[in-house]
Amino acid sequence: MILEPMTTLTDYLLGALAGVLGVRLLRVGAHSSQVTVRLWGMSFLCMAVGAFVGGTSHGFAGMMSTQTHTALWKITVWAIGATAALLLAATAYSCLSASRRQLLLGVATVQFAIYAIWMWSHDEFIWVIADYLPAVAIVIGFQFIAWRGGVAGAGAILLGLHTTLVGAGVQASGLALHEHFNHNDLYHVIQMAATVMLYRGAVQARDRGGD
């Protein structure tokens, strides 16, 4: 028996959407030789992994051993952390010159390493938020500057990131539209819309040149 059928379904739909768009971005990035686009594609694929594994954890927990459920949760939180790190890396390539992006790439690498080690022995979702939200805030800051400078795709990326924050707020609020459509389900639907917006921006992104 599926314990949370709607949460599982919406998680799987989000995973499928992110997976398809992630593959498309990898193909576009390979064809155009744009590292930025490939990094966005990898971020989408990590999002897909988190959604699929998270949906499985929500829906089939009653059929799993404690060890299996714990392992799936670890994969979920690490996938979310990798998504955040890749967002930072993609932004470094699109918003910073070659000589300046190394600092942000270093921050992304160190942040993910610390987070991954920490989450090995911690399970609370608050640590996921503590890792993800600062990364999103940094990306929003750089993308805002890029948008003001007329950089292609930055506006759509900003819209997608703000929609993501709205979804996170809805999830944290516990708002439910129906007894069979709770705050997690609503968050997944909002995140699907955000994912499409992010894709529209990411597919236009280009590596910034210069020293």
Residue 136 in domain: yes
What is the total count of domains within the chain? Answer: 1
* Listed range (33-42, 58-67, 98-107, 132-141) with the worst mean pLDDT: 58-67
Q: What is the CATH number of the domain that holds 146?
A: 1.20.1070
Q: Rounded mean pLDDT of 5-12? A: 89
Q: Reduce the secondary structure of 17-57 to three states and give it as a string.
A: HHHHHHHHHHHHHHHHCCHHHHHHHHHHHHHHHHHHHHHHH
Residue 84 in domain: yes
Range of the domain at 79: 5-202
- Are 90 and 116 in contact, with CB atoms under 8 Å apart? no
pLDDT, the chain, mean: 91
Find, among 130, 8, 20, the residue nearest to 72 by Cα. 8
Residue 210 in domain: no
Residue 208 in domain: no
Residue 209 in domain: no
Tokens linked to 100: 């300046």
N-term to C-term CA, the chain: 58
Residue 75 in domain: yes
The DSSP code for 205 is: -
